[in-house]
Amino acid sequence: ARVAEPLSRLAPISATEAAKLQKLLMQAGYRSHDAAMAFRAIQISLIVAFPCFYMTGYFLNGGSLRNYAILSLFGCAKGFYLPRRILKNKIAKRQQRITWGLADALDLMVVAVEAGLGLNAALNRVGQELKVNHRDLHDELELVNLEIRVGRGREEALRNLAERTGVDDIRSFVALLVQADRYGSSIAKAVRVFAESLRTKRRQRAEQASQKAALKLIFPLTAFLFPVIILVILAPAALKDR
């Protein structure tokens, strides 16, 4: 079963597995229909390339075939997991950029809605204003506007936005817009309240990050700074005794 699972991930036989990979690639910013095929091709190429590299060392330099066989197995595992690791890192970085750009988008949306623009026009205007500073969020809002223009429902387009980004704050924001639009409540007021709560979350996240940074600095300080301080203090006494 453990062997069958990686093989099924490498060459998915179900549409569900392929859809999951396509969703991850969309969250990383790769929207092409051939993105999943390219990802699989890279994965297969690395699975073949790493063992070939290690076995080439055996044929050129000699040595224990068993060691090179073990290295080849590790190469296969590395070739399989390395693309997925890189993909997850790209998704995390892109989601972080979208999260940081959401606060500015909310402020602009409040101004646009209070100026008399409808929700569709406000989304279009906000997307244009974010083109320079927050490119990822601009591209996502552009897709929302394009989906609405081709006739897709606004609620469906907004939910697709949440699925493409995978950001929790975007999901909450989309749910807020859908409820406000469905029940006819004030969009500007709802967005303003959500923007305030988002700022509070960002402040709490910054405080948590600062607290974690203090813990992460303990090891570098203990390993590198304290020995130097002890050396500076004790070295003059040792030299004086000589």
Interval 3-51: pLDDT, tens? 344 444 555 546 677 788 888 888 888 888 788 888 888 888 888 888 8
Alpha helices in the chain (DSSP H): 4-10, 15-27, 35-61, 65-114, 119-129, 135-149, 154-165, 168-183, 187-216, 218-220, 226-241
Q: What is the pLDDT of residue 200?
A: 82
Give me the residues of the chain with pLDDT under 50, please: 1-8, 13
- Alpha-carbon distance of 124 to 120, in angstroms, equals 6
Q: What percent of the chain has pLDDT over 70?
A: 90
Alpha helices in 150-220 (DSSP H): 154-165, 168-183, 187-216, 218-220
Residue 199 neighbours by CB under 8 Å, 6+ apart:
103
- Alpha-carbon distance of 140 to 29, in angstroms, equals 9
Q: What is the pLDDT of residue 2?
A: 43
- CA-wise closest residue to 24 among 120, 165, 233, 235: 165
Q: What is the pLDDT of residue 89?
A: 93
Structure tokens at 36: 């999943």
Q: What is the pLDDT of residue 208?
A: 81
- Specify whether the CB–CB gap between 48 and 79 falls below 8 A: yes
Residue 31: HSE in the Cβ half-sphere, 13 Å Cα cutoff:
10
Structure tokens at 30: 């790769």
- Specify whether the CB–CB gap between 195 and 103 falls below 8 A: yes
Question: How many of the other CB atoms lie within 10 Å of CB of 159?
Answer: 15
